[in-house]
Chain A
Amino acid sequence: MKTVITSSGENNLAQFDKRFGRAAWFCVFDEETKQTIFIKNKNINSSNGAGTMAAEQIVSMNVQKVISGDFGPKAKDLLDKFNVQMVIIQDNDITVQGIIEKLTK
């Protein structure tokens, strides 16, 4: 089972980014291996539809869960259609590592 966490940086100590389509990085956490990999958000600078494109990118990575701060309506529809669980957390002050610790507790 793989989970995407939207991240502001390229490593586990980076701050969680609440902006789904505009987060700089997607941290992909693999629950079996406990490994993380970081994938660049390709569409961070697109003027519109960043959320939809982020959702498409995530669907193509074959993950089952996305943790972010908000999802736009189109991103919601797309993730829902592909049975990706959406998780919204409101912590402003948490790192990617902090979220992973909660997930694996």
Chain B
Amino acid sequence: MSRPKTLRKVVAPPNFKGYKPYGTHTGTKDSVELLYEEYEAIKLADYDLMNHLEASKLMGISRPTFARIYETARRKIAKAFVEAIEIKTVYGDALLDKHWYVCDDCQTRFTIPKTIEEHQCPMCKSEQIELLNT
């Protein structure tokens, strides 16, 4: 029996499907696959400027595991840069932090995917909605 993979909590998935170089002459079809958790590691460490301990706690993983994911992420990005190949983001072992809301007016429970802008109840359009912490 294979060991179940640990799911890494990803607070916010990337806002893109991938990155493509332009002005290259190689015309390669090669690409690197960047996992959601690898994207998150780069974001937390190099964009939000957290230290590895803080970042690992946020993702619900140990510090060494975080360091390993972060290192893999950097190497993939470096490879894509140097070899001028595409980066594709893939789901990986990420566990997305789902947010459930409840409507105060009709008790409907619902999620709000990032593709939806309005924060209102999908059934009654009420804006009296609350985030559930479950």
Contact = CB atoms under 8 A, between A and B. Distances in A.
Place the interface of chain B in its size category.
10 to 19
B113 A80 contact: yes
Tell me the interface secondary structure of chain B in the complex.
loop
A84 B107 contact: no
Given A77-B96, A80-B96, A81-B96, A103 B110 contact: no
A90 B107 contact: yes
Interface in A88-105: 88-90, 99, 102-103, 105
Contacts of A37: none
Contacts of B60: none
Interface residues of A, number: 19
A83 interface: yes
Interface of A: 64-65, 67, 76-77, 80-81, 83-90, 99, 102-103, 105
